Each structure stands twice: as structure tokens, then as C-alpha cells.
Structure 1
Amino acid sequence: MKKLLCISLMLLLAACSDSERLSPLDNQQPILAFGDSLTYGYGAPKALSYPEQLSQLLNMEVINAGISGEKSKQGLQRLGALLDKYQPQLLLLCHGGNDVLKKQSLDKMKANLGQMIEMAQNRDIQVVLISVPEASLFLPNIKQYQELAEQYNIPLENNIIKEVLKKPSLHSDAVHPNAQGYRLVAEAIYELLEDNGALK
């Protein structure tokens, strides 16, 4: 019985350690950064958006597919064609901010993001999810992002947008980083990719 318990514990620990691992990235294949104004880089020169700065850090092509003002329902309608066009090896999904600001249903947002994740995974494209916080004083985390990460077994960057928006020196207005803020977003995503085995 004791031996069986030890084996079960070892299997559980192994499953936990592998639960959010990514396959190593190939610098010959693009990454698709998909989202709204936070991906587009509103509040900074386009060359200093987080996808552009991440591209420099990785020395890989990171396609900026952000559209300011887009809600998750519109993003869901747009994503499939971009996945087919660019055939990225990785989808960086940072969406839902406008749903939050416009007080749309967070469960509907979750369903839309879930379908986006499935679109990518059905094409054998890896996914990293980047959350936005609630639009209130202390910028609390939105549970739906964590639920999606657990449901689809994907890495989640759950803090960087919130941390940037807590510091006035790092944002251009109440909801958008400035160039320095986007740099920190890019660095946090780089670190997440490194921690999850995506960088050789």
C-alpha cells in the first residue's frame, strides 16, 4: 500500500511538472500576438508595442494582430483566418479587455476565448494566455482566465498587465501601458516562455 502511494505521488508530481510545458520554438516560424489595443500597442509608437519588443528579445518574428477597441466576440470571428494565413507556431492571446471595460458578460468572454484556444489547438498551435485585470480600484484578477488556463492546460501570464497599470509611470492612460510598460510586458512573456521550456 505504501509503495502504491509513493508511485501515485510520483505520477502526480510528474503530471504537475509537465502541465504547462511548451515545445521549443523554431526561429523560422512566426509567433502570432492576437488581441486588442494592448497588443496593438496603443499609447506608444507601434515599433514599441509589446509584440515588437518581444520580437527583438526572441530574435523571432512576432506578428502584431491587435485591433484597438475589439471585443472578444469580434476577435473570435477574426482569428481563424489569421491562423490559416500565418500558420504560427505559437499564439499569444491577450483579449477581453474591452469586454471588461464595457461590462460585458465575463462568462461569454470566457466562452469566446475558449473557442479561440480550441481553434489554435485544433491546428497544433501552442497557446499562451495573457490576462487583463478587472477595471476597479485594486485591479483584481479575473477568475475566468485562470479557469481557461486550467481547462486547456496552457501557460497563463496573470500579473504583468495588472502590475504595469498599478504604476502611473508605466502607462499612457488609465488602461494602456506606455513604451516602458510594454517593454515589461514583453520581458514577462519572454520569462514565461523560458520557464515553460519554449526557449532552447
Structure 2
Amino acid sequence: MVSALLSCLSPAYGAKALFRNRTMALILGLGLLPAVAQAQEAAEVPVIVALGDSLTQGYGLPADQGFVPQLQDWLTAQGVGAGIVNAGVSGDTTAGGAARLDWSLSGDVDALIVNLGGNDLLRGLDPDVSRANLEKIMDGAAARDLPVLLVGLSAPGNYGADFKTRYDAIFPDLAERFDALLMPDFLAPLRDAGGEAAAAARFMQADGIHPSAEGVAVIVESIGPQVVDLIGRVSQPDAGG
């Protein structure tokens, strides 16, 4: 899926994404604390911040069909109490996520989902840079004693075998180091459900980059049990993974 994502990249994407990222980050920064408070006021349940990019934010989808609202609905259907706060910013890189971590975790937050790295891949950023940024995020969560579910992506072969090896190793390495839960590849459930790449394309939007509402539902079914495990760590922070 990421190879399709790369083929859709236009020369102007970087500048547009940077502008959109800064604008969305400002809006999110002003509105995130009330969102956390509202999640807590709704019920005495754990509050989980989902820190990510457009895959988390729900780009191109109706407000109730993005990753966070579908995950919230899935948890409710399972009888699991939790409030998921959408801290996804379209166009964000791992550096952007690290830069806004402190105010993304403003308020009483109980756990963190980290879903960043896709835009690093789009830009061909050095995997060592991505690793360092994600390490900052994980360090920040550890300093707050927050359990983390780390969500990765699989690098395409376009950048060569060495790049792919170094990038793909980031997520399992950090998950092991920080005792975090791990979903190695956010888009893997779509490939598993669709079989060949052409079949899996039915779960994508027309841009070939972002999952459709149906695709998000497939992803949520896969990641949902791990989010339940993450919630379990809120009351049992020393549980192993």
C-alpha cells in the first residue's frame, strides 16, 4: 500500500503538507485539552490519546467514519469503557508528533497510541531520524508512566533493501525497549483481507493513500483487541506484553 502511496506523491506535496500540518497543529493545540476533559466528563473511563497523521485523523472520510470514531464505536460494542482522543494531524511526520507531544498529553491522559511514520516514508527520510523522533515520543510517554500501543508501517522496496531493513526494525525494537504493545503494520489487515494488492485496493480511497471507511473498519477489527490490552495496562501498568 505504501508503494501506491509513493506513486501518488506530487512535487508540491511537501510544502502543502507542511502548511497543512502547522495549521492543523495550531487548531488541534487549541482544542485538544477540552477534548480530553470531555472524554473524562462523559464517564469515569480511561482516556487514550491517539497521536498520528492523516491515517489517525481520518482524512477524506465523514466525521464518524475515521479511525478514532470507528475504534470508539468498536470498543463500545465490545462493552469496553474508554475515551479515545483524536490527536491525528494530516501531513504530520514523526518530528511533528514529537514536537507536539507535551500539549497532546495535556490533561489527565491514561494511555497513548502512536501511529506515525507514513509521511517520513513519503519523504524518504533517513530511518535513523524517524527512529530518534519516535524514541523521543516513547521517552515522553515513559516519563508519564503511560502505557503505549506503537503502530508501524512496512517500508516499500523503492529505497533499497538497507532502508527497508532499518525502517522496519524501528517499531519492534522500540516496542521491546519500552515494553509497549505493537501493531507492526497499520495497513497489513487490508492486504490480508484483500489478498493481492489489486484486490486490497478496494479498501482504499481514490487517492490510493488512505483507507476507505470499509478499510478503516477492517483495520479497527484487527487493532481493537490490542487497544483492549492497552486499556488493561492502565490499571495494571506493570503487565507484560
TM-score by length of 1: 0.77
- Give me the whole-angstrom Cα distance separating, in 1, the residues matched to 2:45 and 2:231: 17
- Give me the whole-angstrom Cα distance separating, in 2, the residues matched to 1:197 and 1:62: 11
- Residue 171 of structure 1 corresponds to 204
- Give me the whole-angstrom Cα distance separating, in 2, the residues matched to 1:36 and 1:197: 22
Question: 3-state DSSP class of the match of 1:145?
Answer: helix
Distance 1:29 1:192, change over 3 A: closer
- Give me the whole-angstrom Cα distance separating, in 1, the residues matched to 2:182 and 2:201: 24
- Give me the whole-angstrom Cα distance separating, in 2, the residues matched to 1:73 and 1:40: 17
Question: 3-state DSSP class of the match of 1:47?
Answer: coil
The aligned length equals 173
- Residue 176 of structure 2 corresponds to 150
Q: Which runs of 5+ in 1 are unaligned?
A: 1-25
More helix by share: 2
- Residue 61 of structure 2 corresponds to 44
- Give me the whole-angstrom Cα distance separating, in 1, the residues matched to 2:68 and 2:133: 22
Tell me if 1:62 matches 2:84: yes
Query: Aligned match of 1:91 in 93, 98, 112?
Result: 112
Q: Which runs of 5+ in 2 are unaligned?
A: 1-42, 77-81, 159-163, 192-196, 236-241
TM-score by length of 2: 0.65
- Give me the whole-angstrom Cα distance separating, in 2, the residues matched to 1:97 and 1:160: 10
- Give me the whole-angstrom Cα distance separating, in 2, the residues matched to 1:184 and 1:52: 14
Matched residue type, 2:201: P
- Residue 74 of structure 1 corresponds to 96
Query: Aligned match of 1:119 in 112, 119, 140?
Result: 140
Deviation readout 1:14-59 (Å, 9 max, x if unpaired): xxxxxxxxxxxx9523110111011011132221111111111223
Contact 2:189 2:218 in 1 (8 A): no
1:197 Cα deviation from its structure 2 partner: 7.4
- Give me the whole-angstrom Cα distance separating, in 2, the residues matched to 1:184 and 1:86: 31
**Amino-acid identity (%):** 29
- Residue 190 of structure 1 corresponds to 224
Query: Aligned match of 1:180 in 192, 203, 214?
Result: 214
Contact 2:46 2:231 in 1 (8 A): no
CA RMSD of aligned residues (A): 2.5
1:175 Cα deviation from its structure 2 partner: 2.1
Question: 3-state DSSP class of the match of 1:117?
Answer: helix
- Give me the whole-angstrom Cα distance separating, in 2, the residues matched to 1:32 and 1:197: 12
Q: Which has the higher contact order (CA 8 A, sep 6+)?
A: 1
